[in-house]
Amino acid sequence: MNRRTRLTDALVRRLKPGSREYTVRDTVVHSLGVRVHPSGGRSYVHFFEGRRVSLGSAVFKTVEEARAESRTHLSDGVVKKKCSPLFGDFVAGPWRNSWVHRCKPSTIRLRGKHLKSRLLPEFGDLRLDRITPMLVHRWFDSYSETAPGNANHCLQTLRQVLNHAVACGHAPSNPARSIRPNPRRKITRFLSREELDRLHRILDSHTGARRTTPSQNCQIDIIRLLILTGCRKNEIVRLRRDEVAGDCLRLADSKTGPRTVFLNSGARAIIERRMTGGTGFLFPSPNDSGRPICDDLPLWYAIRKKAGLEDVRIHDLRHTYASHAVMQGTPLPVVARLLGHSRPTMTLRYAHTGDRETEAAAERIGGMISEWLGLQAPCQP
């Protein structure tokens, strides 16, 4: 959507974001416009011979300053052209420098993985203004065929890179903005008491068996700790001995930053057994004690198959911990702290309960209100 009006500072501030980006052109300097993003951000743009050049954020610049800058471009007769940098050079320099100082090491590692494995091989040798929506769509559709979830994560990183490229004036618009992420599977799976018992028996049958290797015994302990603590997989796999502090774990770096995990007696018994001797990681790699064990946990797939739980992901063990905590009446803020969530609202997606618990709650609440109102329950036939 484009419309023309006489731009003023007050008008620019009043422009409201829509579901899609739109531009309002100035009637005083016809080459000037203000672009309004769906997020609410506003920026000035200069139009010349079908091209659009960013003049910077409207927050830090008045209309008159933007008009003067647009007139300067017009007086030159041509837009001052800059050679757009290569995608690979841009992400290694300006883009990385814009965020790396305020992000956790795990975030830095994750974005680096996205770049190295997917984005740089595809776009690294292209100039930023040569990356088109068609190229991005083709890459995303191809990747989504084999790994739809990972494709979503890489798309998010790509959008961040290209948004910064637009802000720096290296690209006219973000070619990834129109792509819809793949729909995510709803998180509704958690293990019932019977399924937990079945899984426990299978784990017991592997523990200490003659054919079970030391690496597999490590994986069994990791799976048990995930069930007993509700921790994320990497928090246990990468657990260091110096993070064990008696009845709790003092994690130096979790997804939401440093946090404390309180241990129950079952979890303490496993950790105390693993603490005897050695340094560094509690579950070291069998090939290199200076590194943690492989986080793929291949034994998990064999165990869940034997237990008849092939639809259960390793992350569903955390989901199970949270769901049973809620069903036992634990307040959501407490569950949020147990899980290490930065906001209690994040815990709501884990708080699924079964029909039996819901029916019992309805009966309990209804009986309480009936008692308040002086109503009598109907006689049973």
Predicted confidence at residue 350, as pLDDT, reads 61
Type of residue numbered 84: S
> CA-CA distance, 269 to 276, in Å (whole number)?
12
Predicted confidence at residue 79, as pLDDT, reads 42
Predicted confidence at residue 78, as pLDDT, reads 45
Instruction: Kindly give the interhelix angle for 133-144 and 148-167, rounded to the nearest 10 degrees.
Output: 160
Type of residue numbered 171: A
pLDDT in 10s for each residue of the chain, 381 residues: 568 888 999 998 888 888 888 899 998 888 889 998 888 888 898 887 667 788 888 887 889 988 888 888 776 654 445 578 999 999 999 999 999 988 888 788 899 999 999 999 999 999 999 999 999 999 999 999 999 989 999 999 999 999 999 988 888 899 999 999 999 776 668 898 999 999 999 998 888 777 878 888 899 999 999 999 999 999 999 999 999 998 899 998 787 778 899 999 999 999 998 888 677 899 988 888 888 888 788 999 999 999 999 989 999 998 888 888 888 878 878 888 888 887 767 777 665 555 555 566 677 777 777 677 765 544 444
The neighbour count for residue 173, using CB atoms within 10 Å, is 17
Question: Is the separation of the CB atoms in 20 and 1 below 8 Å?
Answer: yes
Predicted confidence at residue 323, as pLDDT, reads 85
Predicted confidence at residue 219, as pLDDT, reads 92
Predicted confidence at residue 329, as pLDDT, reads 79
pTM tops 0.85: no
Question: Is the separation of the CB atoms in 175 and 131 below 8 Å?
Answer: yes
Question: Is the separation of the CB atoms in 57 and 127 below 8 Å?
Answer: no
Question: Is the separation of the CB atoms in 298 and 286 below 8 Å?
Answer: no
The answer for 212, left when phi > 0, alpha when psi is -120 to 50, beta otherwise, is: beta
Predicted confidence at residue 349, as pLDDT, reads 67
> CA-CA distance, 154 to 142, in Å (whole number)?
13
Predicted confidence at residue 137, as pLDDT, reads 95
Looking only at the bridges linking them, the beta strands covering 244-245 and 2-5 are unpaired
